[in-house]
Amino acid sequence: MTNLWINPAFLFILGSFLIPILKGRVKHTFLLLVPAVAFLDVVLMSQGTYGAVQFLGMDLIFGKVDRLSLVFAHVFTLMAFIGVLYSLHVKDDGQHVAAYLYMGSSLGAIFAGDYVTLFLFWEIMAFSSVFLIWYRRTQKAVNAGFRYLLVHIVGGLFLFAGILLRHGEVGSFAFGAISPEGVTLATYLIMIGFCLNAAVPPIHAWLPDAYPEATVTGTIFLSVFTTKVALYALIRAFAGFEILAIIGPIMAVYGVCYAVIENDARRILAYHMVSQLGYMVCGVGMGTEMAINGAIAHAYAYIIYKGLLFMGTGAVLEMTGKSKLNELGGLYKYMPITLLFTVTGGISISGFPLTSGFIGKSMTVEAAESYKIFIFLMLMIASIGTFLSVGLKLPYYIWFNKDSGIKPKEAPLNMKLAMGIAAFICYFLGVYPKFLFDMLPYPVHWEPYTISHFAEVMQLLLFTGLGFLLLLKKLTPEPTLNLDVDWFYRKGSKVFMWVANKPIAIYEEYLGEIYNKWFTNFTLRFSNFLWRIFDVKIIDGIVNDIAGFWKDLGGVARLSQTGLVRNYAFFMLLGGILFITYYLFK
């Protein structure tokens, strides 16, 4: 492996073409084998630059391997195996192909050493992931998928424009750190492209709009890759940009507020993705070694426990056909194993001691405390909302609220195995954080298990739990629609269609009538006038006069055509005499 570098992206991309060919257990084995081999490939991979090629005068690098790309590739391939195991019961080959292309392109973006290669895989991510939404085959999924795709196309255009402008400025497509000093239009365009995929408000609404409409298994993959690749890109290029340190806490509070009031379980988790990404974006903006380590450690742990939460709620949707909290309740009697795993994800995301959330997110919060106090306070407020919405509200109304009368079976074995592996990792990282800390880009000089940190977290969790009990009736979910900023482009599109169908159509019809009544009639009359003047009088007259001339000339010539040889001889003799006379007297 040290001499031969294998890009794990191509294992997935090439493997996707074999999926429709394979059948039965062979297919199941192959589906699990590819992510397992990819994970082993990443574990054994050495740092360096690989896969450098020249194409059309551009230096393309398919393998920029360092500690930053390796830690993301490690968790991506690990979660790929868990996600494939969770979706093993799906018989639709299209979903597996889309997931493989999506995972492969995400890994390709992680290892890209230049903007051209990054953009190539970036666009494959967008076009492959949308099928994980469309394959649910509902009208809502189709509509959400189109909106998702259009938004990401726009983001790709911003990114592409920024890449071209930056190449004009620096003369290179190299993908690396950008200095916060002397930023240009190219810098902001690239940042907007990254921030859109990272679901930064106000360009975030595509996430809670599309993810809850995806297939049960598709949502697992969606929750892992797009936003985390964007986070990786922000770390690689924009670490230390203070604007991100300000945007991050706003994201954290904004997302958790919507998560608290939402009714649909998967929309709660989708909004909570926006909130948790805020912590990571804030860490990128602060730019210190501890903050960057915290953002990456949080992302690693978050991928696992958010995947676990989506797997738990997805299992409920799979077995009951419902995901709205007001339609669920009392399922603890029928799906106890799924309950156990979902609660594990809930307490992990809330930052309970001995779970992965305790050792990841807290590092970013600790860095914020020494950076700016208002950022620290906003992140603490978001932590309260996290436990309230995902740690308490979500499990309570699914599992322990008034019995809904639904009596589902437990989730399939492959789903339970996938959730079990993810739950084990949540506890493993919480108990043995050194495993994760050793993979981070910078040395970690932070100890999570101190008395002060433990006491701070437990106070926060206990008071939040007390508040939940006191506000239980107020938090009862209701089947309402919560408007977000996507209201503007949804309504905007309706206004556009109304304008196109009403005013513009009427105006076009009015112009058509004017054209037919006036312009067409004028044209016909004018052409008739021209026909009479030019065609009949002038052109036909000239043609007729020429024809008459040649007719008269022919009549004269006809007189000489008597058919008598003596007449022909006379004319020949006369012609010869005239020619000789002309020649002699010239």
Q: How far apart are CA 297 and CA 60, in angstroms?
A: 29
pTM of the complete model = 0.83
Q: How far apart are CA 256 and CA 29, in angstroms?
A: 40
The number of beta carbons lying within 10 Å of the beta carbon of residue 151 is 22
For residue 405, the model assigns a pLDDT of 85
The owner of tokens 């739950």 is: 423
Residues 6 or more apart whose CB falls under 8 angstroms from that of 138 comprise 213
Please, are residues 97 and 15 in contact by the beta-carbon 8 Å criterion? no
Helix (H, G, I), strand (E, B) or coil at 264: strand
Nearest to 364 by CA among 302, 430, 286, 295: 295
H or E segment to which residue 259 belongs: helix 242-261
Q: Which residues pair with 54 in a beta bridge?
A: 59
For residue 182, the model assigns a pLDDT of 80
Nearest to 103 by CA among 129, 66, 82: 129
Q: How far apart are CA 12 and CA 62, in angstroms?
A: 15
Instruction: pLDDT tens for the chain, 586 residues: list them.
Output: 345 789 999 999 999 999 999 998 999 999 999 999 999 999 999 999 998 888 887 889 999 999 999 999 999 999 999 999 999 999 999 999 999 999 999 999 999 999 999 999 999 999 999 999 999 999 999 999 999 999 999 999 999 999 999 999 998 999 999 998 888 999 999 999 999 999 999 999 999 999 999 999 999 999 999 999 999 999 999 999 999 999 999 999 999 999 988 999 999 999 999 999 999 999 999 999 999 999 999 999 999 999 999 999 999 999 999 999 989 988 999 999 999 999 999 999 998 999 999 998 889 988 998 888 999 999 999 998 888 888 888 999 999 888 888 889 999 999 999 999 999 999 999 999 999 999 999 998 888 999 988 888 898 888 888 888 887 877 787 777 777 777 777 776 667 666 667 677 676 677 667 767 666 777 777 777 766 676 666 766 676 667 666 666 666 666 555 556 666 666 677 777 776 776 666 6
Please, are residues 99 and 221 in contact by the beta-carbon 8 Å criterion? yes
Domain ranges across the chain: 239-487, 503-584
Q: Which residues pair with 58 in a beta bridge?
A: 55
Residues 6 or more apart whose CB falls under 8 angstroms from that of 320 comprise 328, 331, 406, 408
For residue 53, what is the DSSP state?
E
For residue 2, the model assigns a pLDDT of 44
How big is the CA angle at 572 (ends 566 and 578), to the nearest 5 degrees?
A: 135
Amino acid, single-letter form, for residue 383? S
For residue 562, the model assigns a pLDDT of 58
How big is the CA angle at 260 (ends 305 and 455), to the nearest 5 degrees?
A: 60
Q: Residue ranges of the alpha helices (H) in 239-335? A: 242-261, 265-286, 289-320
Tokens encoding 311:
């797997």
Locate the DSSP E strands across 11-120: 48-55, 58-65
Please, are residues 255 and 200 in contact by the beta-carbon 8 Å criterion? no
Amino acid, single-letter form, for residue 584? L
Q: How far apart are CA 504 and CA 155, in angstroms?
A: 29
For residue 13, the model assigns a pLDDT of 96
Q: How far apart are CA 16 and CA 108, in angstroms?
A: 15
